[in-house]
Structure 1
Amino acid sequence: MREHQRASVWPNIEIGPSFQPNEVAFHVRNTGIGPAQIQATKLTYKNQQISDWRSLLFTIANDTTNLKGLQTYQSFINKRVLPNKSERQDIFRISINDTNSTGKLFLSQLGKEVSKQHLNITLCYCSVYEQCWISKMFNPNHATTESSAPTYGYKKPVESCREIQNSDI
């Protein structure tokens, strides 16, 4: 009976990128049948933890002039509850507000970093019965196989979310 109850509220978090000509976004959604309580978030670039989105942008840009003409949007996901069957929600979006070439070059570079799997988002979330999972970003440009599953675009059950060192995202 207990397993049936747990299965009836199973959350399933999906994390992914979205690419448009003048915009790159990262989104989450809960495709499961129960709510997901986000307990921890982690942002990494080239396997190094990044404290927040702004730090990520400066790390990739190497020069703040490359960030001129860009607009950003951020929605903090840590400690939120995503309802079941939720719509896709942007957690970070960067777009060009004019057509300057440095902004386009930066968006192109960001897209390449995602495609190369240098950038990753990890979320740890729990069900109402305190069953927890870690989910990493899925990249539609790279199919996930069993051999690549431990590094990118996968989910795994965990005892708790305490092992995740939080980024401020």
Structure 2
Amino acid sequence: MRFDSSQLQALGTIAAAIAALIALFVAWDQGRVMRAQQHASVMPILAASVSFDQIDDRVELSVVVRNDGVGPAFVESARILSGGEPMQTMVQFQDTVLPTELHDEFIFNGGTIRGALGAGRQQPLVSFIWTASEDRTPAFRALLGQLVSDDTHLQIETCYCSVFGQCWIAQPGEGARAQPIRSCPNLGDDVYVQLSSSHIVGDAP
């Protein structure tokens, strides 16, 4: 079968168009891969932990947020929950989380969690410090047992973004993966401000 010059020209035009489309797809795919690599190279991963420690005559319950990722996390908000319910006042926190014997005479510390948290860095969210005593020992043991046996008793939820504006909500719960979100919601004041605004300081340990 022979082709005349006009047919050959048309075939050449089609082949050139197909080659251009292939080149365009390859360039787009390479750009997509490069963008994904750039995002992965600075991806933050926030994790929260609760510790219960005794040093000398002081017993401390602390909540710490750390960045286990490879890039800075821009933390927008953090919440403390118990059984999935946010703790918004000190009275609510005490009644829900703490044994009655631990409602008084503690030092309450904390600060803002908002802002940049570098890779490998951590930031205290809140802490409670009591003076150890025989009277409080059963309450300390009860609280520790509750924290160990029930991972819903004290939970932390954070919302944060990367340098590229990708945002996630770190869900509470062991092994829970952060869920991508378009932007972090405005949850009002920081946890420390919410709790301390309703906290009447007792006798410091």
State the TM-score bracket (shorter-chain normalisation).
Answer: 0.7 to 0.9
Kindly, what percent of the aligned residue pairs are identical? Answer: 26
Match of 2:77 among 11, 22, 40: 40
SS of aligned partner of 2:36: helix
**Closer/same/farther in 2, CA of residues 6 and 54 from structure 1, 3 Å limit:** farther
Distance in 2, Cα, partners of 1:127 & 1:29: 14
Question: Counterpart of 1:126?
Answer: 161
Q: 2:60 matched to 1:23?
A: yes
Report the CA distance shift for 1:43/1:136 in structure 2 as closer, same or farther (over 3 A). Answer: same
Shift of 1:29: 1.0
Counterpart position of 1:74: 110
Question: In 2, distance between residues paired with 1:166 and 1:28?
Answer: 19
1:8 aligns with 2:44: no
- Higher share of residues assigned strand: 1
SS at 1:108's partner residue?
Answer: helix
What is the rounded CA distance, in whole Å, between the counterparts of 2:162 and 2:127 in structure 1? 27
Aligned: 1:168 with 2:190: yes
Any gaps of 5 or more consecutive residues in structure 2? 1-33, 192-205
Equivalenced residues, count: 152
Partner of 2:129: 95
- How far residue 130 of structure 1 moved from its aligned partner, in angstroms, is 0.8
- Greater mean alpha carbon deviation, residues 93-102 or residues 2-11: 93-102
Q: Which amino acid is the alignment partner of residue 114 of structure 1?
A: L
1:158 match = 181
The question of whether the paired residues in 2 share the 8 Å contact of 1:14 and 1:138 is answered with: no
Letter paired with 2:184: C
Deviations 1:42-100 (A, max 9, x none): 2212222211456412443475x6423322221221x22101221x3322222222425
Alpha-carbon spacing, 1:23–1:121, altered in 2? closer, same or farther (3 Å): same
Residue 69 of structure 2 aligns to a residue in which SS? coil
Shift of residue 137, structure 1, vs aligned partner:
4.2
23 and 32 in structure 1: CA distance in 2 versus 1, 3 angstrom threshold: same
Alignment CA distance shift 1:47-1:124 (3 Å): same
**Aligned equivalents of 1:100 and 1:155: distance in 2?**
41
Q: For the aligned residues, what is the CA RMSD?
A: 2.6
Question: Which of the two has higher C-alpha Rg?
Answer: 2
